[in-house]
Copies of this chain bind each other. A is one copy, B any other.
Amino acid sequence: MDTGQDEGARSREPRQERSRATRRRLLEAAAACLAERGVAGSTVAAVAERAGVSRGAAQHHFPTREALFTAALRHMSDTRMAELRRRIDELPAGADRTTAVVEMLVDAYSGPVFAGAVQLWAAAANDPRLRSHVIPLEDHVGRTAHRAAVELLGADESAPGVRETVQATLDLARGLGLANLLTDDEPRRRRIVARWAEILRRELGTG
């Protein structure tokens, strides 16, 4: 069947698509591998095998482990935050909205992506080369999460103290994520989320 496209364009497109799919598979495998095995156990070869991709193809996309790990966490975190922002229309109105948003944010810091980030942070603390990759990643993730939190909470950052209150919400979420790393901290976390949402509503005047 001739679609009228020239040969070159036809073969280029599926190739680009395949390349994008390979890249995405590598990023997802790298994030899962990090969370399960830590940095020391996550070689490019181990990630390639997990992704079902040849080692050569993996190295074509990510020449170094540092590039692979930071791209993986950036991708997973961006995907997660974009998902949260898409769910803005499903949020309940009034007082329940703040609770729902705090739950969403805290949950975002309690899954395998956060567990992988802790592995990367721990390794970067003693590895200057990895650290130089992780610092800009952390900065990017922090800004993205902050923008999402402001939008979801409907916070007015021109009011004094609001910016710090939103940041405290994300730092609290990070601390709760760390507490959840080794044991299931769900019941305690729920009580703190409920309490924090109550405080936030008063502080932000949102319910």
Contacts and interface: CB of A to CB of B under 8 A. Distances in A.
A2 B75 CA distance: 75
Interface residues of A, number: 47
Contact of A161 (B35, B41, B198): B198
A82 interface: no
Question: Which of A121, A134, A135 has the most CB atoms of chain B within a 10 A radius of its CB?
Answer: A121
Q: How many copies does the complex hold?
A: 2
Interface of A is mostly: helix
14 contacts: A40-B40, A118-B121, A118-B122, A118-B178, A124-B182, A138-B183, A142-B179, A164-B191, A167-B188, A167-B192, A171-B179, A175-B176, A175-B177, A199-B203
Interface of A: 35-38, 40-41, 115, 118-119, 121-126, 131, 134-135, 138, 142, 161, 164-165, 167-168, 170-179, 181-183, 188, 191-192, 194-196, 198-199, 203
